[in-house]
Amino acid sequence: MTRFIFVTGGVVSSLGKGMSAATVGALLRAHGFKVRMRKLDPYLNIDPGTMSPLQHGEVYVTEDGAETDLDLGHYERFLHQFARSADSTSGGKIYNNVLVKERRGDYLGATVQMIPNVTDEIKDFIRSDLTDEDFVICEVGGTVGDIESLVFLEAIRQFSNDIKRKNAMFIHLTLLPYIETAKELKTKPTQHSVRNLLEKGIQPDMLICRSTVRLAESERKKIALFCNVEAENIIPALDVDNVYKLPLIYREEGVDTRLLEYFGIESKTADMSDWERLAERIDNVSGETTLALVVKYAMDSDAYKSLKEAIYHAGLMNGVKVKIKWIDAEMLENVSDDVIAAHFKGIKGLIVPGGFGVRGTEGKINAIRYAREHKLPYLGICLGMQLAVIEFARHVMNIDDAGSTEFERPCTPVISLMTEWNRDGEKAVRSKNSNMGGTLRLGAYPCVLKEGTVARRAYGQPEIRERHRHRYEMNIGYLQQFEKAGLIISGRSPDGELPEMVELAGYPFFVGVQFHPELKSNPFDAHPLFVELVKNIK
């Protein structure tokens, strides 16, 4: 039997709802249950693919090619299992499905309404594509009280009755602000937030209360009284120094015991040893090194969430702390070599991550040139690989105007739009005029590695599968020229057609990848390319 846990958030956003949901999932998995995590984002975009990563954080890509919210990244990293495209939806997608059905005549004769048509569509999503899961955890994006959330809350309320209320649990995440002058934790915003939920017919069964100081017993009782939640199910959640310690902390607070008690089921096993070993590794890192990230959004934001995590995991694996220096790519444009060298003072390695559009690309090319000329270990991801190819064409092959057709400037197109390609034996097509959303090469593709390369050594296996999210590719018309000039194509599609990885001979680590390795890294299994990079800079 499948039980459903719904996670909502109140008071303010950014409380780490995704992380809390993932932690609950990780705990249940440690008890031997089969867990599935899902995200329902109420906004009207069909998916986050066209949203600014500055606003919404990175776009996470699943193995089967869905562009999703970054919370799916937390789910994968905490549960150590792949999410699927069926695990993420949005208001836009739900309404779109309903409207398509309306035009098709599926509701013929009926007036199409929020209830039951939109709520049914949401409920169908919640129960779709399930087999024998013990638990499905559904996180509802946004904050209770948002207009967009209304119909989602109504749908989960109905759903909890459809499956019998005792098989569903509502967890609500709130904030207890600490008022310094009064030296008091304030419970009122939590009370209001729960009241708001109650208005929608949802009685939370557990409250996870974020705060900076520990909740006193009297405050716990007060919240229990006003919010109608058992005192033991009011869980204090203080800020933590490392999110990967959350499962152990939640366990200490009794979250798992309370969950199992609520559903009246027994644990199958209780094995937290992975998390204990991880915590030990976290506390035993010594020494540090610095990696430069040359980016368009020069700040430590969620725009590069998975990348930061992958670097962190590789640091743990190597027992070293990796500091990141964020460099705004535009600061490296139209400046002298000395200025560039000054930016790289004390830097042991460079990553140019993925990106879209021309802004900052010349600065990134200057950074890559510096890395190539100074044998600074380099990892180029997606756009970072394309720019490494352009840099090589310009400065090693002397094709002065080498460029990508993405940048809409006259150039020798060593990177260009691929209009046709092969996916699992089927032809996929796109053109320059295709819609922006959903026309990328997305999801995992196999890649065959060349013997004797850094790539082959790092992965330790001849074939890999990595996730893509891009429109442009290395122009295969120039491949022979590149290889003659010394660029090694270290990874290709199995048919041998498409270059997926490039590297330079005689370098400790100078690797470009057309895919996003950061999406498959997790704290238990750091990604081999990042591990190899960090090994070379520690």
User: In 3D, which of 211, 203, 263, 255 has the Cα closest to residue 233?
Assistant: 255
Tracing tokens 């990244």 back to the chain, one arrives at: 73
Q: How far is the CB of 307 from ligand GLN (least distance, A)?
A: 11
**Does 61 sit near ligand GLN (CB under 6 A)?**
no
**Does 349 sit near ligand GLN (CB under 6 A)?**
no
105: its two tokens: 């005549």
d(CA 197, CA 11): 11
- Applying CB under 6 A, which part among 62-70, 110-118, 133-141, 463-471 lies near ligand GLN? 463-471
120: its two tokens: 């049914």
- Applying CB under 6 A, which part among 36-44, 115-123, 343-351, 467-475 lies near ligand GLN? 467-475
- Whether omega for the bond prior to residue 353 falls within 30 degrees of 0, making it cis, is no
Q: How far is the CB of 306 from ligand GLN (least distance, A)?
A: 12
Q: Binding marks (x or -) toward ligand GLN, 363..392, rule CB under 6 A?
A: -------------------xx---------
d(CA 158, CA 202): 10
**Does 295 sit near ligand GLN (CB under 6 A)?**
no
Q: How far is the CB of 86 from ligand GLN (least distance, A)?
A: 23
| Three-state DSSP string of 455-504 | HHHHHCCCEEEEEEEECEEECHHHHHHHHHCCEEEEEECCCCCCEEEEEE
* CB of 117 or CB of 404, closer to ligand GLN: 404
Could you tell me the end-to-end alpha-carbon distance of the chain, in angstroms, rounded to an integer? 49
**Does 251 sit near ligand GLN (CB under 6 A)?**
no
d(CA 389, CA 82): 31
- Applying CB under 6 A, which part among 6-14, 281-289, 324-332, 353-361 lies near ligand GLN? 353-361
Give the other-Cβ count within 10 Å of 385's Cβ: 28
* CB of 354 or CB of 363, closer to ligand GLN: 354
* CB of 225 or CB of 358, closer to ligand GLN: 358
* CB of 11 or CB of 393, closer to ligand GLN: 393
Q: How far is the CB of 140 from ligand GLN (least distance, A)?
A: 28
User: In 3D, which of 445, 453, 437 has the Cα closest to residue 516?
Assistant: 445
- Applying CB under 6 A, which part among 87-95, 202-210, 308-316, 468-476 lies near ligand GLN? 468-476
**Does 472 sit near ligand GLN (CB under 6 A)?**
yes
The CA–CA distances, whole Å, from 167 to 9, 205, 262 equal 21, 12, 9
Q: How far is the CB of 328 from ligand GLN (least distance, A)?
A: 17
* CB of 65 or CB of 354, closer to ligand GLN: 354
d(CA 253, CA 246): 10
Please list the active-site residues.
382, 516, 518
Contact pick of 48, 49, 73, 355 for ligand GLN (by CB under 6 A) = 355
Q: How far is the CB of 470 from ligand GLN (least distance, A)?
A: 3
**H or E element that contains 445:** strand 441-449
Strand order in the sheet with 35-41: 88-90, 35-41, 135-140, 3-9, 168-175, 206-211, 234-238
**Does 515 sit near ligand GLN (CB under 6 A)?**
no
* CB of 215 or CB of 383, closer to ligand GLN: 383
Contact pick of 302, 406, 518, 532 for ligand GLN (by CB under 6 A) = 406
Note the helical H segments in 80-187.
Answer: 91-104, 119-127, 150-162
Contact pick of 471, 492, 520, 527 for ligand GLN (by CB under 6 A) = 471
451: its two tokens: 């013997």
d(CA 473, CA 129): 33
The CA–CA distances, whole Å, from 59 to 51, 251, 276, 303, 439 equal 8, 30, 30, 8, 15
* CB of 171 or CB of 383, closer to ligand GLN: 383
**Does 296 sit near ligand GLN (CB under 6 A)?**
no
* CB of 3 or CB of 467, closer to ligand GLN: 467
Q: How far is the CB of 253 from ligand GLN (least distance, A)?
A: 39
User: In 3D, which of 153, 54, 149, 59 has the Cα closest to residue 469?
Assistant: 59
Q: How far is the CB of 224 from ligand GLN (least distance, A)?
A: 48
Residue 212, CA atoms < 13 Å, CB-side half-sphere: 7
Q: How far is the CB of 354 from ligand GLN (least distance, A)?
A: 3
Bridge-partner residues for 72, per DSSP? none
* CB of 383 or CB of 504, closer to ligand GLN: 383
Amino acid at 482: F
- Applying CB under 6 A, which part among 112-120, 131-139, 315-323, 351-359 lies near ligand GLN? 351-359
Helix (H, G, I), strand (E, B) or coil at 58: coil
Helix (H, G, I), strand (E, B) or coil at 441: strand
Contact pick of 82, 226, 262, 356 for ligand GLN (by CB under 6 A) = 356
**Does 31 sit near ligand GLN (CB under 6 A)?**
no
Residues that bind ligand GLN (CB under 6 A): 354-356, 382-383, 406, 469-472
